[in-house]
Structure 1
Amino acid sequence: MSRRLASVAALLLVAALAAGCSSAAATTDPDGSVTLRYQGNAGQVTLPELADDLGYFEDVTLEWVGDTTSGPQDIQSAATGQTDFGGAFNGAIAKLVAAGSPITSVIGYYGSDDVAFNGYYVLEDSPVRSARDLVGKKVGMNTLGAHHEFVVREWLASEGLTSDEIASVQLVVVPPVSTEQALREGQIDVGTLGSVFRDSALERGGLRELFTDTSLYGEFTYGSYVFRDDVIAKNPQAVADFVQGVARAIRWTQTNPREVVIDRFETIIDGRGREENTDLVQYWKSAGVAGPGGVIDPKEISIWVDWLVREGTLEEGQIDPEDLYTNADNPYANGTYDPASGPDGEATS
Structure 2
Amino acid sequence: MTIDVGRRSLLRNMAWLATASLILPGCGKKEEGGADSSSSAGAPAVLKKVGDGVVEFKYPDNPTFDLVYLAEALGYFDGTRTRPRYVGKVAAPQIIPLIGTGEIDFGTRMVPLVISAIASGLDIKVVSAGGKTLEEAPHMKYFVRKDAGIRTPKDLEGKTVGFNSFGACAEFVTKKYLRAQGVDVNKINWLVVPDNQAEQTLATGNTDLAIIHPPFSGGAESNTELTKLWSDYDLDGGLGGMAPYSVYGKFAREHPEATRDLVGAIAKAANWVNANPDEARKITAQRIGMELRLVERFAYVENLVVTEAPIQYYIDILESEGKLPPGKIRVKDVYTNEFNPFA
Fold in common (TM above 0.5): yes
277, 280, 300: which one aligns with 1:261: 280
Which residue number corresponds to residue 274 of structure 1? none
Does residue 1:131 correspond to 2:132, yes or no?
no
Identity percentage of aligned residues: 28
| Per-residue Cα deviation, 1:32-88 (whole angstroms, up to 9, x for no partner) | 23111111213x453112222323231312111111221x31122222221111211
1:1-349 matches, within 5 Å, as: 9-10=14-15, 27-42=48-63, 44=64, 46-57=66-77, 58-70=80-92, 72-113=93-134, 114-161=136-183, 165-195=184-214, 197-220=216-239, 221-256=241-276, 258-265=277-284, 269=287, 278-279=289-290, 283-289=294-300, 291-333=301-343
* Structure-2 separation of matches of 1:264 and 1:159: 40
* Structure-2 separation of matches of 1:282 and 1:108: 27
Contact 1:183/1:191 (CA < 8 Å) preserved in 2?
yes
User: Size of the alignment, in residue pairs?
Assistant: 304
Q: C-alpha root-mean-square deviation of aligned residues, in Å?
A: 2.7
The runs of 5 or more residues in structure 1 that have no matched partner are: 1-5, 15-24, 270-276, 334-349
* Structure-1 separation of matches of 2:231 and 2:281: 25
Distance 1:325 1:280, change over 3 A: farther
TM norm structure 2: 0.79
| Per-residue Cα deviation, 1:74-117 (whole angstroms, up to 9, x for no partner) | 12222222111121111111111111112100012234321344
Contact 2:221/2:228 (CA < 8 Å) preserved in 1?
no
Shift of 1:139: 0.5
| Per-residue Cα deviation, 1:167-223 (whole angstroms, up to 9, x for no partner) | 221101223344334333433221223435433333332333332111123345432
Q: Which amino acid aligns with 2:70?
A: L
* Structure-1 separation of matches of 2:173 and 2:228: 15
* Structure-2 separation of matches of 1:263 and 1:299: 32
Q: Which amino acid aligns with 1:210?
A: L
Which residue number corresponds to residue 38 of structure 2? none
TM norm structure 1: 0.78
Distance 1:265 1:298, change over 3 A: same
Secondary structure of the equivalent of 1:105?
strand
